Structure 1
Amino acid sequence: MRTSNPFLSRWGAARDAAGPADVYARRPVGAAVGGRPADDHLTNPYAPGADTSPRTDRTAVTMDDVIVRTGTTLGTVALTAVLSWLLLPVDEANIGRSYGIAVGAALVAFVLSMIQAFRRTPSPALILGYAAFEGVFLGVLSSTISTYIAPGVVVQAVLGTFAVSASVLVAYRMRWIRVTQRFTGFVAAAATGFLLLLVADLLFSAFGAGNGLGFHSGGLGILFGVIGILLGAAFLALDFRQVEDAVAYGAPREEAWLAAFGLTTTLVWIYLEVLRVLTLFNSDN
């Protein structure tokens, strides 16, 4: 099953409730599945050959690898966000230029993320480039909201993102959240519906209905943002499961960059939705 998350789309998000070994269990290259020769690169991305046990050599990814790469990627986002906040003023004389740079950075970040999503192997340059341009967009957007709409909301949004992430991590580690095939299918369906509503909202806004479907203000906007946060939390649980499986079943070490990419895109999603909810809540009060 392919998802909008690059890490999930690379390795496949579907899981069986019996455990990750059902998906990543070792078997010889070319072993038959359902009476037909199987392509290990599609059905078992970690298969190194005829080895039937998890890899423990130095080329296999470790949790430390994932943590370091994720910290590097998120650090790049944070650094460029702070620099863009400081160097791209959003006062009346410069807001047009800053806004244009932010939109351009968002488009470049999107293009880089799509290129990486369709690559067979992770590219640190693409991933860090995505993080840098995404940080520029987030910095200008956050500065604008903090200056003109809801002062102080950015700090609240950052703390809210940490709170959501920590809560999901605790719930996942305690197995209160069980990432099964049914869970994955539900999240994928819900995310598809959410994105379709976003597209419809943009179209309505562009062709006559200035407020779109009403997701930009009031109780409906807050509700839509809360749904977005819940979806982001669900994708974060999927990310954690993918990282856990990759480490347990010997993914190549370079895939730590892909894990970092997936976690970063999910955390950016959560931050934007938390920022949306807090902005609407503060502006209505």
Structure 2
Amino acid sequence: MSVFGMRTSNPAFSSYFWRKKSYSRQKMSLGGIIFKSFLMLGLVAVTASYTWKIFFEGTDIKWHTTIGGFVAIVASLFISFKHNSAKWLLPIYALAKGFFLGGISAYAHKRFPGLPLQAIAVTITTFFVMLFLFKTRLIVVTRQFRAIVITASITIFTIYIITWILSFFRIHLGFIYGTSNFAIAFNFVAAIVASFSLLLDFYYIERQIGKAPKTREWLATWGFLITLIWLYVEVLRLMKKLAIRF
């Protein structure tokens, strides 16, 4: 079963991604994906740390955060449609995303000291918990499970896109970004879906290790970054809402 032709909530692991032909003799390896993932996370950390530093030195980082988020979206769109560009665009995506994450994290830390570090800890813990659940098969990634996660992910991102468009017309939906019970519940569900998306990523990568061409490691890394960053943002938003509310 698939939703809109996709078999995973992450665009980097869609059926199109795996069906595309390649004649490379070198195959995707777990070590290659881990190395590239740490490398890209390092780039994220560089620009995030820089944005954090200049914010607490008194610099207005509004444009750093906004432009960083916009560039990351554009880079992702290019990678989605032209997979061969992942090797060159992924570093740009990581650096741009770092500006965005550094900005929202600095804002959160200023109001609630230590909150971003707590969100990072929760994200890392969630990652290893999901990996444990996947490797021990305590949660089996079945066709129905994938369909549910995909549908939920598409619904969440559709809501975010609609609210983002409405914001240009000064229409702000408090029941999504506010601190009401519904807003907190929505954020909690989004964080759960992001967590389950990791299982789908593990599933598709496990199936392609030693089979997909070596160049696909860049796309696999891109997919992990998308999911991990989404999870961190959702966790940070949820913790911020809870801190404001309680």
The alignment's TM-score, normalised by the length of structure 2, stands at 0.88
User: Are the structure 2 counterparts of residues 123 and 202 from structure 1 closer, same or farther at C-alpha, using a change threshold of 3 Å?
Assistant: closer
In structure 1, give the amino acid aligned to 2:202. F
Q: Counterpart in 2 of 1:87?
A: 54
1:193 to partner: Cα distance: 1.7
Tell me the SS of whatever aligns to 1:103: helix
Distance across 2 between alignment mates of 1:71 and 1:214: 33
Residue in 1 that maps onto 2:121? 159
More helix by share: 2
Looking at CA atoms only, which structure, 1 or 2, has the larger radius of gyration? Answer: 1
Please list the CA deviations of residues 47-74 of structure 1 after superposition, one character each: whole Å capped at 9, or x if unmatched: 75xxxxxx9x6x1111111111111111
Is 1:69 matched with 2:36?
A: yes
Shift of 1:218: 2.8
Find out whether 1:234 has 2:201 as its counterpart.
Answer: no
| Gapped regions of structure 2 (runs ≥ 5) | none
Q: Which amino acid aligns with 1:126?
A: L
Aligned residue-pair number: 241
Query: Which of residues 135, 153, 160 is equivalent to 1:198?
Result: 160
Within 5 A, what are the aligned runs for 1:148-187? Answer: 149-187=111-149
> Structure 2: which amino acid aligns with 1:265?
I
CA distance 1:73–1:11, shift in 2 (3 Å): farther
Q: Is the 8 A contact 2:40 2:91 kept in 1?
A: yes
Separation of aligned partners in 2, 1:265 and 1:185: 19
The correspondence for 1:281, drawn from 230, 242, 245, is 242
Find 2:100's aligned residue among 137, 148, 152.
Answer: 137
Residue 145 (structure 1) shift = 1.4
Secondary structure, aligned partner of 2:137:
coil
Decide whether the 8 Å contact of 1:122 with 1:254 is kept in 2: no
* Aligned residues of 2:174 and 2:183 also touching (Cα < 8 A): no
Equivalent residue runs for 1:13-52 within 5 Å = 42=19, 45=20, 48=23
8 A Cα contact 1:85 1:140, kept in partner: yes
2:12 alignment partner AA: F
Q: Give the deviation of 1:166 after TM superposition.
A: 0.9
> Would the alpha carbon gap of residues 151 and 192 (structure 1) be closer, same or farther in structure 2, given more than 3 Å must change?
same
Alignment root-mean-square deviation, CA? 2.3
Matched position secondary structure for 2:82: coil
Q: State the Cα distance separating 1:268 from its structure 2 match.
A: 0.2
Is residue 2:233 matched to residue 1:272? Answer: yes
Residue 253 of structure 1 aligns to a residue whose secondary structure is coil
Q: Which amino acid aligns with 1:9?
A: S
1:112 aligns with 2:112: no
Contact 1:46–1:251 under 8 Å retained in 2: no
The corresponding residue for 1:52 is none
Give the corresponding residue for 1:8: 13
In the aligned structure 1, how far is the partner of 2:33 from the partner of 2:172? 43
Structure 1 residues not aligned, in runs of 5+: 13-40, 49-54
Deviation at 1:258, TM superposition (A): 0.8
Once the two structures are aligned, what percentage of the paired residues are identical?
26
